[in-house]
Amino acid sequence: MSVLDEILAGVAADLEQRMARTSLDDLKAQADRQNPALDPMPAFRADGVSVIAEVKRASPSRGDLAPIKDPAGLAADYAAGGAAAISVLTEERRFGGTLDDLRAVRGQVDVPVLRKDFITTSYQLWEARAAGADMALLIVAALEQNALESLVERARSIGLTPLVEVHDEEEVERAVEAGADLVGVNARNLKTLEVERSTFSRLSPLIPDGVVKVAESGVRGPHDVIEYAKAGAHVVLVGESLVKGDDPRASVADLVAAGVHPALQHRW
Q: Say which CATH number the domain at 161 has.
A: 3.20.20.70
pLDDT of res. 262: 61
CA geometry: angle 193, 234, 225, nearest 5 deg = 60
pLDDT of res. 19: 97
How many structural domains does the chain have?
1
Residues acting as catalytic residues: 54, 56, 116, 165, 186, 216-217
39-61: average pLDDT = 93
d(CA 229, CA 264): 7
Question: For 193-235, how does the pLDDT look when each residue is reduced to its tens digit (9 = 90+)?
Answer: 788 889 999 999 999 999 999 999 889 899 999 999 999 999 9
Contact status, residue 64 vs residue 58, Cβ threshold 8 Å? yes
Question: For 102-123, how does the pLDDT look when each residue is reduced to its tens digit (9 = 90+)?
Answer: 999 999 999 999 999 999 999 9
Range of the domain at 93: 3-264
d(CA 218, CA 238): 8
